[in-house]
Structure 1
Amino acid sequence: MKILYATSEAVPFCKTGGLADVAGSLPPALAAEGAEVAVVLPLYQKVREKFGDQLHFECYDFVDLAWRHSYCGLFSLERDGVTWYFLDNEQYFNRPDLYGYMDDGERFGFFSRAIVRMLGHLKFWPEVIHCNDWQTALVPIYLKDDGVREDRFRSIKTTLTIHNIEYQGRYGMETLGNLFGLNQGWANDGTIVMDGDVNLLKGAILCADAVNAVSPTYANELKMAYYAHRLENIIRQCDYKLYGVLNGIDMKLYDPSADQRITARYSAEDMSGKAEDKAALQRMLGLREEAGTPILAMVSRLVSHKGLDLICEVLHDIMELPVQLVILGKGDQRYEEFFYWAAQQYSGRMAVRLDYNEALSMAIYAGADLFLMPSKSEPCGLSQMIAMRYGTVPIVREAGGLKDTVHAYEAWRDAGNGFSFTNYASGDMLYVIREAVQLYKENPDAFDRLRKRAMAGDFSWARSAKEYLRIYANITGQTWPVPAPAAEEPAVTAFAEEKAEVAVPEEAPAEEKPKKKTVRRTAAKKAEKAEKPEKAEKKAGKAEKKTVKKATPKKESAKKDTEQKETPKKETKKKGPAKSKKEDQAE
């Protein structure tokens, strides 16, 4: 199966969020399952600076986007069993950041158009193009549009993954033809228009052959107005092609027993290294070095749907607990200002870093004891999986992928791998935080068992890759996994074939029956000898006649055998003429 994975970011080349982690891990996992996989993404300035010497120039062409006729270069790189393609246009992509520009619609409109028009320059013609979020949402639309004029595009199936439905790619109606180069018919039939705007994600949901959310719970939530941001009716309309596949993480990259990015290595069997990581984190952030005080941490973008309102409401209540609080991230100014102010109020007990730092985030995962994710909506979430991998127990709200991965602690049967609450309420969040801190302080043995259960979770991509391959097989009509070829049978001679036709069908089933009959006859003979010894000689004569009769077919019914035993005189009469006939023929 040939798969082209289209994404706007991917680890290790460029990253702003969880999409990059998925795009960097899923394609190699698909390749490991036997699929032929390539990934295409823009050639950003960051990629050129870091990997430019490893890129191989393939070719260049010109791509038409409405009235624009723009250069597009194609570069490639082989890594982890996957071919990584980079589309080059310095006007659009040679910029310091990946997103956040006024012309983002035009930039990713060009990217989507270039993906379709550059397919002929790739090393294979894909059977499936896997698109991600609004940045590649125009790909299924362009394939449908070009397929009207060129048959070759009709064979390609598309899958769209919704990582966060909040970002839909909405632009004014004037962009339909002037910017994206699409006919007015796409608006007239309502495919790409919603609330008077061009909505790229809506068009992709309707045009794609399969749509999947990044967790089973999130797939169900998207049918509700609260989570779907006005696309709930479109999701319900496409329910027949909607799937929910839980994301995974790179289990080798996030392995506390081998990770060189943290201060000390450790495992579920030997947790001594985690205490060293905790002390190192406290020194790094200027917290008091208190081994018996749990560290409650949060690594997140500081935006409203991450549940930051709940934390702001009860922050002072949280700080009344015997706990230290660490927050890493950046985002909305109001949250940045609030947490910066709060850190000044609780010096030595609270640390805030308004940035995203990969090294510091790993130090937090390894050194913290509790990990807080009170999200209002969370399509999947990777942070809770990473935290559990490093023995940092999660506290989450039951939303999206958080509900699918974190199971609430149950003291009465010592089960669960974290703490959770259902209602989006600060009081409920505060209650489970208190419960977690109390367990840590008062029952360390139970907390250690909880921590080990969290570390034992399987969040590998192998499981998710198999589910994606089943989706691809459904939309292409292929069988997956491909059945192994049957072993070749040895050559059969003409004589053997003739013998097989004549002898095998008759003798194969009959070989078993005579054995059973022989056993029954022997038992019958012994019984008859015991009851009537005077007939022994007659029976011996009959046995001799039966030996002669071996030339007749062995497939006789049990009924005839029974008749022969019970009425020997009648049998003799039948055999007599037959014997005379044979003797006449012999003469």
Structure 2
Amino acid sequence: MKISFVSFEVSPFVKVGGLADVAGALPKYLKKLGEECYVIMPFHKNIEDNFDTSKFEIVKKDLVPDSHKYKAPFSIYKSFLPDSDVKIYFLKTEGLFDSENVYEEENIFLKTSYFSDIALKTIKEIEPDTNIVHINDWHTSLIPVYLKTNYFEDKALGKLSTLLTIHNIGYQGVFAPEFIFQAGLPGYLFNIDALEFYGKINVLKGGLMFSDIINTVSPTYAKEIQTSEYGYGLEGILKIRSEDLYGVINGIDYNIYNPETDPHIFYPIRTYEDKLNNKIKLQEYLELPIKKYSTLISFIGRLFDQKGLDLISNVINYFLLADVQFVMLGTGDKKYERFLISLEDSFPEKVSINIKFDADLAQKIYAGSDIFLMPSRYEPCGLGQMYAMRYGTIPVVRYTGGLVDTVQEYDSETKKGTGFGFYDYSETDLLYTILKATYYNQKKEEEWKIIFKNCMQADFSYEKTAKSYVELYKKAIAKKFN
């Protein structure tokens, strides 16, 4: 079958979150399974700033959207995902995708709806024998809406099946009712059985209503979003469509995240001693005291409540009383940035705070840490815990969403398990779990080495993920034509 993978961000060209990693890796593994797959994304301005786009091939110029009211012409450029023969089409129109922040609020409906329509135009013009469109989050969720309204009788587009992947249901694309006309969609869609949502239009709701098959990025999260606690108002629709809702764990690209060959880390990791050597070099690199047997705890991610920063900020002064060091890398809420910087000022011998995005440093932290913190309020899948385990770093997590499906609590009797976790979203439980993991690290070295080995042997490769998606594509196609 031929698959069109449509995403607003694709690594390494533009990366904001985990979606970019999925979009940059999954199509390669689908191709390895024998499926034909290509990617479509906007030609964001920062692609030109960071890549040699002179090598991109111009496929077609000055096309106009068929439905959208914004009739600016667009051009199609072609390249390939790095180290592969998977085609990627960049859709460019002057002045629209030129923001440094690809998800900025200004004109975001115009950008995403226009992109959704011209993505379909690209399929029709360049890849008319496509079987299924794999769309991602609300930013491309108008694609199935267009297909089942404006293009229902189109010979090329009318036969397309759709799979919608929800990477984070907390982001839905909610706008005033009149925006429906800007997209060139019929006004009758503004009703409770289509796009209407508490007096506004909800783009993700449209994707849920009109896609053939829906999935999210872990089996546990697929169940959680059908509850009022995690569904963000869409739990009713998801319950109705529960027979078409699946959970597929994301993978990580083992060719990139390989502790034996990763050029970003200090030493290849094959043994526990290699791990400790990376730890010492990381301490030196970050100008922390070199303490081989102190527990080095890390956090990499966005500094928001969703990632558990409220819990961390309320307990960190307590666990810093132990023989530990803390390393943080990320950006986010200014109140957390300020708090963490002040913490570093108070504990310069124990704390390294890095308010930035730095892929090279991230790899060094994954390779050099003992414990990786991920106490999320909710977590659709999570990639950080997988990266950490790949480099032998033991995760401490709150068991929610994909963290339930990927981190197994260590059992000292069976010697099975890859980490430590807790269920209630509470400061007490987080602090207890951190201290428990620290105790194992400092007092039970032989068992810690077993957990290290269990993590290194865990399999989160994209081969399994890709096979699961192929089965979902088949279900979507069968549903379309039954």
TM-score band, normalised by shorter chain: over 0.9
Partner SS, residue 227 of structure 1: coil
Structure 1 residue 81: Cα displacement? 2.9
2 CA distance for matches of 1:69 and 1:59?
A: 16
Question: 1:279 corresponds to which residue?
Answer: 280
Query: What SS does the corresponding residue of 1:91 show, helix, strand or coil?
Result: coil
> Cα deviations across residues 298-338 of structure 1 (Å, max 9, x unaligned)?
00101111111111111111111111011111111111111
- 1:187 aligns to 2:190 (yes or no): yes
| 1:146-157 to 2 correspondences below 5 Å | 146-157=150-161
RMSD: 1.3
1: CA distance, partners of 2:444 / 2:8: 46
Deviates more, 1:437-446 or 1:407-416: 407-416
Which region of structure 1 is more displaced relative to structure 2, 376-385 or 116-125? 116-125
2:238 pairs, out of 228, 232, 235, with: 235
Distance across 2 between alignment mates of 1:90 and 1:384:
39
Amino acid across the alignment from 2:79: L
Q: Which deviates further from its counterpart, 377-386 or 80-89?
A: 80-89
Q: Distance in 1 between matches of 2:46 and 2:472?
A: 33
Match of 2:119 among 104, 115, 118: 115
Q: In 2, distance between residues paired with 1:101 and 1:373?
A: 28
2:76 aligns with one of 74, 77, 80: 74
Amino acid at match of 1:19: L
Q: Does residue 1:210 correspond to 2:213, yes or no?
A: yes
Which residue in the other structure is 2:460 paired with? 459
Query: In the alignment, which residue of structure 2 is the partner of 1:4?
Result: 4
Separation in 2, partners of 1:413, 1:151: 59
State the one-letter code of the partner of 2:426. A
Q: Pick closer, same or farther for the CA change 1:135–1:327 going to 2, 3 Å.
A: same
Please tell me whether residue 256 in structure 1 is matched to residue 259 in structure 2.
yes
Matched residue of 1:39: which SS?
A: strand
Letter aligned with residue 21 of structure 1: D
Percent identity between matched residues is 35
Distance, in Å, in 2 between the alignment partners of 1:471 and 1:66 is 30
TM-score for the superposition, normalised by structure 2:
0.96
Aligned to 1:507: none
Give runs of aligned pairs for residues 298-377 of structure 1, distance below 5 A. Answer: 298-377=299-378
By how many angstroms is 1:152 displaced?
A: 3.2
Does the 8 A contact of 1:223 with 1:232 survive in 2?
yes
Cα gap change, 1:276 to 1:194, in 2 (>3 Å):
same
Distance 1:154 1:120, change over 3 A: closer
Q: Distance in 1 between matches of 2:245 and 2:222?
A: 7
Which residue does the alignment assign to 2:204?
Answer: 201
Per the alignment, residue 38 of structure 2 pairs with 38
Q: 2:31 & 2:314 partners in 1: Cα distance? A: 47
Q: Which amino acid aligns with 2:425?
A: Y
Q: Confirm whether residue 158 of structure 1 aligns to residue 162 of structure 2.
A: yes
Q: Which residue in 1 is equivalent to 2:412?
A: 411
Is contact 2:440-2:447 (8 Å) kept? yes
Describe how 1:90-169 pairs up with structure 2 within 5 A: 90-169=94-173
CA distance in 1, matches of 2:69, 2:257: 47
Q: Name structure 1 gaps, 5 residues minimum.
A: 479-587
Contact 1:2 1:124 (8 Å CA) reproduced:
no
Any conservation in 1 of the 2:141–2:207 contact (CA below 8 Å)? Answer: yes
Aligned amino acid, residue 202 of structure 1: K
In the alignment, the residues of structure 2 paired with residue 272 and residue 13 of structure 1 have an alpha-carbon distance, to the nearest angstrom, of 36
Partner-residue secondary structure (3-state), 1:259: coil
Do residues 18 (structure 1) and 22 (structure 2) align?
A: no
Matched residue of 2:64: which SS? strand
* Distance of 2:178 and 2:106 partners within structure 1: 16
Instruction: Tell me, in whole angstroms, the C-alpha distance in 1 between the residues paired with 2:159 and 2:433.
Output: 52
Q: TM-score, normalised by structure 1?
A: 0.79
8 Å contact kept, 1:162–1:213:
yes
Contact 1:5 1:39 in 2 (8 A): yes
Distance in 2 separating the partners of 1:287 and 1:124: 57
SS at match of 1:276: helix
Alpha-carbon distance in structure 1 between the residues aligned to 2:100 and 2:476? 38
1:532 alignment partner in structure 2: none
Residue 68 of structure 1 and its aligned partner are, at CA, apart by 2.3
Q: For structure 2, which runs of at least 5 residues remain unmatched after alignment?
A: none
8 A contact 1:407–1:418 mirrored in 2: yes
Q: Report if the CA contact (8 A) 1:265-1:273 is conserved.
A: yes
What letter is aligned with 2:260?
S
Q: Which residue of 1 is the match for residue 174 of structure 2?
A: 170
Q: Does structure 2 retain, via aligned residues, the 8 Å contact 1:377–1:400? A: yes
Secondary structure of the 2:397 match is strand
Larger RCO, structure (CA 8 Å, separation 6 or more): 2
- Taking the TM superposition and a 5 Å limit, the aligned residue runs for 1:469-488 are 469-477=470-478
Report SS of the residue matched to 1:394.
strand
Cα deviations by residue, 1:410-468 (Å, 9 ceiling, x for unpaired) = 11222211111111111111111111111111111110111010110010111011111
Q: Which has the larger radius of gyration?
A: 1
1:226 aligns with 2:229: yes
Structure 1 window deviating more from structure 2 (99-108 vs 34-43): it is 99-108
Tell me if the contact between 1:146 and 1:153 (Cα under 8 Å) persists in the aligned partners.
Answer: no
